[in-house]
Amino acid sequence: MLISDRTSDVISSSEISEATTEKLVVRELSIRPFGYFEEDLEIDFQQTHRPDLEIQILACCMGNREGIKIDSSFFWNLEIGKRTEYLLTVATLPNRSQIEFNLNCYNSECQRQMEITILLLELILLQQQAENHPTEIALETKKFSLRKPTGIDQKSWLEQQFPDEDSATLAMVQTLLPVEQISSFQQIFSQEKHWMQTLNQVMEEIDPLVNFSLQVNCPYCGTENLHDFDLGDWALQQLYRAQQQLLITVHRLASHYHWRESDIFAIPPWRRSRYLDLIQREVNYQ
């Protein structure tokens, strides 16, 4: 897929540009950036299951329009692609609206590093397009409708053990089929195993932000490369850095002013930043 095809009616460009360090209002939801408040230090980035981590972050940073926290069940019921969209939104607040990757050319005679920039709004548009187009699988003369997987589906799949990738794909597809279509699907698939390639392709396309790939032309040698991106992992890396920076902020303020952690978080983020500037100014004058 080409990036020019891709973003959502969830966020308009004007809403993005007006976002502040406090929160961004997205329709009936409010989203604040991560890495400013005491509860952000409670997130354990070392936990085993990534969906749990992503949902904890969203539950921490998102609320209704009045800012009241939303129960985590809301996020478990979200489609995985929508969850990824929200996670990217949190990771790019408050001052960024784009995602940057460093890639290496696949041409063995080149292998030079390229910097790729993807606009958040383009990704949201891609997610919106996927939401507006129902997914179907055509096997023989029959068409089967697939819904997009949610966090609950993902949690169920993670709790199961599959002998191989094909078995996992088959089980996932059956989970996403309407109940009345499962019997016909099983009958057709049991007779013709070559449909597995089609199923794998559909599972890759059903959530474009989860299975994201981008065709990139190397500016140095002109080679065309298809790169796979884990957008959710990129977001988690940015959020982890934000948490580490918050820890450094608390440490510096506590060391300089001898404040307790609760005292530091009683101060709004913009004032903490100003205190850090004053501390740095003293260091520079010494």
Q: What is the pLDDT of residues 198-255, one digit of tens each?
A: 887 787 778 889 989 888 888 899 888 888 899 999 999 999 999 999 999 999 999 9
Residue 153: what pLDDT? 93
For 48-59, the pLDDT digits (tens) are 889 999 999 999
Residue 274: what pLDDT? 94
Residue 193: what pLDDT? 66
The reply to whether 14 and 103 lie within a common domain is yes
The reply to whether 101 and 12 lie within a common domain is yes
Residue 43: what pLDDT? 96
Residue 232: what pLDDT? 94
The reply to whether 92 and 16 lie within a common domain is yes
Phi, psi of 224 (to 5 degrees): -90, 125
The reply to whether 12 and 144 lie within a common domain is no
Final residue of a structural domain among 182, 207, 232: 207
**Residue 260's pLDDT band (boundaries 50, 70, 90)?**
very high
C-alpha distances (whole Å) from 220 to each of 3, 112, 216 are: 20, 8, 12
The reply to whether 196 and 262 lie within a common domain is no
Residue 7: what pLDDT? 26
Using a pLDDT cut of 70, give the percent of the chain over it. Answer: 90
Residue 26: what pLDDT? 54
The reply to whether 37 and 110 lie within a common domain is yes
Lowest mean pLDDT segment, chosen from 16-30, 50-64, 95-109: 16-30
Is residue 243 within 8 Å of 40, Cβ to Cβ? yes
Contacts of 168 (CB under 8 A, 6+ apart): 157, 162
> Of how many residues is the chain composed?
286
Final residue of a structural domain among 188, 207, 226: 207
Is residue 55 within 8 Å of 83, Cβ to Cβ? yes
Residues 123-143 have a mean pLDDT of 83
Q: Could you tell me the residue range of the domain that residue 188 belongs to?
A: 134-207
Q: Domain tally for the chain?
A: 2
The reply to whether 152 and 12 lie within a common domain is no
- Please report, as a single letter, which amino acid is at residue 262: S
More confident residue, 193 or 96: 96
Final residue of a structural domain among 207, 223, 256: 207
C-alpha distances (whole Å) from 119 to each of 96, 168, 220 are: 9, 33, 23
Nearest alpha carbon to residue 36 among 231, 258, 276: 276
The reply to whether 91 and 218 lie within a common domain is yes
The reply to whether 269 and 235 lie within a common domain is yes
**Residue 9's pLDDT band (boundaries 50, 70, 90)?**
very low
The reply to whether 156 and 256 lie within a common domain is no
The reply to whether 89 and 6 lie within a common domain is yes
Distance CA 117, CA 156 (A): 34
Contacts of 155 (CB under 8 A, 6+ apart): 49, 51, 76
The reply to whether 48 and 125 lie within a common domain is yes
